Amino acid sequence: MIKRILLGIFATLSLGLAVAHEAQDDAVLEWNEIAIEALHGQPPPPAMLHAAMVQLAVFEAVNAITREFQSSMDGLNAESDASAPAAAVSAAHRVLSTLLPDRATELSAARDRSLARIPAGHAREAGITVGEAAAAAVLASRLNDGSDRPESYLPGSAQPGEWQLTAGCPPTGGVFLHWRNVKTFVIRSADQFRSSPPPALDSPQYTRVFNEVKEVGARDSTQRPPDRTTVARFYAVFGDAELWNTVARQLAAPRRQTLTQNARAFALLNVALHDLVVSLVETKYYYHLWRPETAIPAAESDGNDRTIADPSYAPLIQTPCHPSYPSGHAATSGVGREMLERLFGPRGHHIAVTSPDLPGVVLRYSTLQQIADDIDDARVFGGIHFRTDQMAGGLQGRQVATYVWQHAFRPARHCGTRAPDTQAGNHGVPRRGDSARACDARRREHDLQQERAREARALFGVDQAS
């Protein structure tokens, strides 16, 4: 069913101002917005990797102070009175300025503005220190992760169903083949969530999805409703990490969660998006299914007498240069929908998304499923995907998001029966499988470090503790 959405020029200023105000009050939201804007224009795989690195560093820095959730790092310590907002700012700035050295001056100015809103003193400096440490740890963990060793794919044959280079491809072939080998954050391997095979070319299911995209996805189609044309063009220029982080900020801002809760939410979302793209690329190049742009003109060769060729077929929007199955936009939407529903609930939202590339168009949603449904339509009515690509991508995204939710950044299990007092700095947090003895030892070590730090400040005015 095609979802009806409101399109046109709406009064979105009040919503934008409200989100901006909340973001300024929350260093996590503020620096997520800065990060996503800074990463704008990067291709989706590196953009999702870099966003995940930023948000992981922010989470680890803030959580090192509050200890509300389990950490993915060993040896990251912080004083209980360190400023968590300063830690978030420092961590995000350091990762971004390292990844984007050409924007270092601009990012440093943004950092200085953010830190100026935090009272000067030992707490702010301690927060900056742990933020720098978290960023350094994340950057070190991604050295030699495989993302800087590009590979391309050239088809091994011109057999029916085999992906072929499309109009927008470089001569080197399909892009980002190497991303199937990039190190993941949480999932065990790239093929852990490989999709089931696409439908056979002579199957009734393939016949249905072939005829659908042929009818509604052609550039000159008369069967495509105007609102589906708008949606197809909108999501051709806006999606993936940029879309789902924008939506997440709109959901998080009015809820006034703790800084650590927001840091965790954005770490979960972005780590899952990155791990999903590793799994997605592995699946795409495992099956290397042709695109509608190739399949429809070549239908006479597909062995299916119910698919009729159209040699003049051209899609409404440009086909990305990689295999069709599964859909990347559907897969990232599966992650975004699944993770944000777990964090903020499935419905009752007030979401508005816009793109500077399509001024005057505002897409409004009250549920996350509506966004995912529109994106599915966008790729089919845009003429670049079969509906089965969308179905497989959405499922793969939801599977990855569920796994990340179940295995990353879980609530901390504190020592003893007393509930954690994050304001008082109760840092007796065991790692998975810690015994009571190990827990007590870690708590005593932490208390000793804190006592030494307090004594050093009292004697010297600075932290001289080793």
Residue 9 confidence (pLDDT) above 70: no
pLDDT in tens, 377-387: 999 999 999 99
Residue 265: per-residue pLDDT: 98
Q: Are residues 212 and 301 in the same domain?
A: yes
In this predicted structure, the answer to whether residue 302 has a pLDDT above a threshold of 60 is: yes
Q: What is the mean pLDDT of residues 175-201?
A: 98
Residue 315 has pLDDT above 70, yes or no: yes
Q: Do 430 and 400 belong together in one domain?
A: no
Per-residue confidence band for 18, with pLDDT thresholds at 50, 70 and 90: very low
Q: Is the pLDDT of residue 458 over 80?
A: no
What token pair was written down for 422?
């994050």
Average pLDDT (2-14) is 39
Q: Rounded mean pLDDT of 442-447?
A: 55
Question: How many angstroms separate the CA atoms of 79 and 463, rounded?
Answer: 10
Tracing tokens 């929007």 back to the chain, one arrives at: 317
In this structure, are 193 and 264 located in the same domain?
Answer: yes
Return the higher-pLDDT residue of 451 and 360: 360
In the predicted model, is pLDDT for residue 405 greater than 80?
Answer: yes
Same domain, residue pair 96 and 238: no
The whole model's pTM is what? 0.86
Q: Which residues lie below 8 Å from residue 286, measured CB to CB, with a gap of 6+? A: 191, 194
Res. 126: pLDDT tops 90: yes
Task: Judge whether residue 44 has pLDDT over 60.
Answer: yes
Task: Tell me whether residue 72 is in a domain.
Answer: yes
Question: Are both 72 and 212 inside the same structural domain?
Answer: no
CATH number at residue 50: 1.20.144.10
Q: What is the mean pLDDT of residues 43-71?
A: 97
Q: Is residue 105 part of a domain?
A: yes
One domain, residues 247 and 320: yes
Domain boundary among 145, 161, 190: 145
Considering the domain architecture, whether residues 401 and 447 belong to the same structural domain is answered as no
pLDDT at 303: 98
Q: Residues of 160-184 as b/e, b for ≥16 C-beta within 10 angstroms?
A: bbebbbbeebeeebbbbbbbbebbb
Q: What is the mean pLDDT of the chain?
A: 88
User: 68-72, 259-263, 422-426, 457-461 — which is least confidently predicted?
Assistant: 422-426
Same domain, 70 and 205: no
Which tops the pLDDT comparison, 8 or 233? 233
Residues 6+ apart with CB under 8 A from 119: none
Percentage of the chain with pLDDT > 90?
81
Top pLDDT among 312 and 463 is at: 312
- pLDDT category of residue 41 using cuts at 50, 70 and 90: very high
> What is the pLDDT, as a whole number, of residue 448?
57
Given a cut of 70, is residue 243 above it in pLDDT? yes
Q: Are residues 95 and 191 in the same domain?
A: no
In this predicted model, what pLDDT tens digit does every residue of 170-187 receive, in sequence order? 999 999 999 999 999 999
Residue 47's domain spans which residues? 13-145
**pLDDT tier for residue 74 given thresholds of 50, 70 and 90:** confident
Between 75-89, 116-130, 423-437, the lowest mean confidence (pLDDT) is in: 423-437
* Confidence band for 456, pLDDT divided at 50, 70 and 90: low
In the numeric block, the tokens 């295995």 are attached to 407
What is the C-alpha separation between 396 and 435, in angstroms, rounded? 36
Residues 111 and 203 in one domain: no
Mean pLDDT, residues 141-161? 97
In a domain, 6, yes or no: no
pLDDT at 75 over 50: yes
The stretch 79-95 carries a mean pLDDT of 97
Total domains, the chain: 3
Is the confidence at residue 414, as pLDDT, over 80? Answer: no
- Lowest mean pLDDT segment, chosen from 73-82, 224-233, 273-282, 439-448: 439-448
To the nearest whole percent, how much of the chain has pLDDT over 70?
A: 83
